[in-house]
């Protein structure tokens, strides 16, 4: 009896379904609109991610699909977090990691060494003008930079101020108290000691007129030493990083003119190093004009400013994260046989440049030196100082500086 009742119930349901189909006109009703469903099922086309961005690390690429990068300040990219509905319950709090691109992971270190005035010769108007040549004849050309050669060889670029033409020209500029000149062979003093570039813009560049200046540049270039000065830049390169060296004088160029040139060079160079002949002779403290020039040059994009002309050490200013070295003093200076102040230094700065062209400061260092290896006279052999003598030079530079702490190297091996 229960079976009969169940069978009747099934037949009743079947009859109701047949009547419903007949009432709605059979199978002739229109098909439902699936457009919205199809659109939802179609994948959204996304922007492609460069291989450099996607291949940050193997771990990141296997843990989840590569996200679309979002630019941030400093050239870094942050992944855009995308969570599937099924994973929503498994997400935990925390910051989204910032990933560096392959370009930014590639970093090149550039070490610059800078030294002061090099007059490789002497004053032709003086009876002692041939003294430097006597040392060259007696000791050879390797003698002069013998005590600093290893330092220069260990860096990437060494720049000095070449104060006086290396030429055989005899027609000198009139009305000058000093007319410096050196034998063209003296370019080998520089090339043999790993000096890469010379700053030529100074008040003695034209002691033997334009012909002497042109000869000097050509003689330097003949032995592979760069010449930067006035309108001529010199470019060096390491591992694809382009370094531009510029050289100007305060009296030939306005601050605005130098700044404009810096802006132009910065468009095509990763680093721009600017040497300026400025200030007052024998003055340690920077003048207001020097400060104005230095700030304008940094504002224009220069990475380092190096000063010459006072013949004595000046201070170092850190301005907007960049350094202005106001005076590097004499270095290998044939223009004075026995100056009262023989203190000098080698200024070094390390730059770190990533593959995207971002530049960061890797630190500065000072190597205190004397222009002579003996105290009784100038023997034209710049020599690093140690101990108390080195500390005295650092104290002198610090007293004129705005940099809070100046590191220095003692005997090439340690820092205070």
Count of other CB atoms within 10 angstroms of residue 199:
31
> What is this structure's pTM?
0.75
pLDDT at 414: 45
Cα torsion 138, 140, 144, 147: sign: negative
Residues in a beta bridge with 360: 352
Pairing outcome for strands 241-249 and 234-238: antiparallel
Per the CB < 8 A criterion, the answer to whether 141 and 189 are in contact is yes
- Per-residue pLDDT of 327-355, as tens digits, reads 999 999 999 999 999 999 999 999 999 99
pLDDT at 105: 76
**Whole-number average pLDDT of the chain:** 82
Q: How far apart are CA 128 and CA 178, in angstroms?
A: 12
Task: Say which residue the tokens 């910051």 belong to.
Answer: 95
Name which of 369, 280, 273 is nearest 322 in CA terms. Answer: 273
Instruction: Tell me what the mean pLDDT of segment 171-192 comes to.
Output: 98
What is the Cα–Cα distance from 157 to 71, expressed in whole angstroms?
34
Given a cut of 60, is residue 30 above it in pLDDT? no
Radius of gyration of the chain from its Cα atoms, rounded to whole angstroms: 36
Scan for tokens 């290896």, then name that residue: 373
> Tokens 């690429």 identify what position?
61
* Mean predicted confidence (pLDDT) in 302-325: 98
Q: How does pLDDT run across 251-299, given as a tens digit for each residue?
A: 999 999 999 999 999 999 999 999 999 999 999 999 999 999 999 999 9
356 three-state secondary structure = coil
Angle formed by the axes of helices 288-299 and 255-266, nearest 10°: 20
Q: Parallel, antiparallel, or unpaired for β 304-308 and 271-277? A: parallel
| Rounded average pLDDT over 213-223 | 99
Q: Tell me what pLDDT residue 9 has.
A: 52
Mean pLDDT of 34-56: 35
Domain coordinates of the chain in residue numbers?
Answer: 107-234+328-415
Give the pLDDT score at 155. Answer: 99
Which residue from 234, 307, 315, 296 is spatially nearest to 271, judged by alpha carbons?
A: 234
Distance CA 181, CA 206 (A): 10
């Amino acid at each position: 009896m229960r079976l009969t009742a169940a069978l009747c119930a099934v037949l009743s349901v079947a009859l109701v379904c047949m009547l419903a189909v007949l009432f709605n006109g059979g199978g002739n009703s229109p098909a439902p609109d699936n457009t919205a469903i199809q659109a939802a099922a179609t994948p959204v086309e996304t922007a492609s991610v460069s291989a450099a961005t996607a291949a940050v690390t193997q771990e990141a690429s296997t843990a989840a699909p590569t996200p679309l990068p979002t630019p941030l300040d400093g050239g870094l990219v942050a992944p855009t977090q995308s969570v599937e509905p099924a994973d929503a319950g498994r997400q935990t709090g925390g910051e989204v990691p910032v990933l560096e691109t392959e370009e930014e992971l590639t970093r090149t270190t550039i070490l610059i060494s800078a030294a002061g005035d090099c007059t490789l010769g002497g004053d032709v108007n003086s009876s002692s003008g041939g003294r430097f040549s006597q040392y060259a004849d007696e000791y050879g050309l390797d003698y002069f930079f013998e005590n600093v050669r290893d330092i220069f060889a260990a860096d990437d670029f060494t720049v000095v101020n070449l104060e006086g033409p290396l030429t055989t020209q005899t027609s000198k500029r009139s009305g000058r108290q000093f007319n410096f000149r050196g034998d063209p062979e003296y370019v080998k003093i520089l090339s043999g000691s790993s000096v890469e570039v010379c700053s030529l813009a100074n008040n003695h560049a034209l002691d033997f007129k334009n012909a002497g200046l042109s000869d000097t540049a050509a003689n330097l270039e003949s032995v592979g030493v760069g010449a930067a000065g006035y309108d001529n830049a010199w470019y060096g390169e390491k591992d694809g990083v382009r370094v531009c060296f510029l050289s100007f004088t305060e009296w030939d160029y306005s601050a605005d003119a130098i700044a404009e040139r810096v802006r132009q060079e910065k468009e095509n160079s990763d680093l721009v190093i600017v040497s300026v002949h400025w200030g007052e002779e024998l003055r340690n403290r920077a003048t207001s004009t020097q400060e104005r020039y230095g700030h304008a040059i940094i504002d224009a994009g220069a990475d380092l400013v190096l000063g010459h002309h006072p013949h004595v050490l000046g201070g170092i200013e850190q301005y907007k994260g960049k350094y202005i070295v106001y005076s590097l003093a004499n270095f290998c200076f044939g223009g004075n046989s026995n100056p009262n102040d023989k203190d000098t230094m080698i200024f070094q700065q390390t730059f770190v440049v990533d593959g995207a062209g971002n530049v960061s400061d890797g630190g500065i260092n000072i190597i205190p030196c004397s222009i002579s290896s003996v105290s009784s006279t100038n023997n034209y052999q710049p020599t690093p100082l140690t101990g108390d003598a080195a500390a005295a030079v650092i104290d002198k530079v610090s007293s004129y500086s705005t940099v809070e702490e100046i590191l220095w190297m003692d005997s090439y091996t340690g820092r205070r």
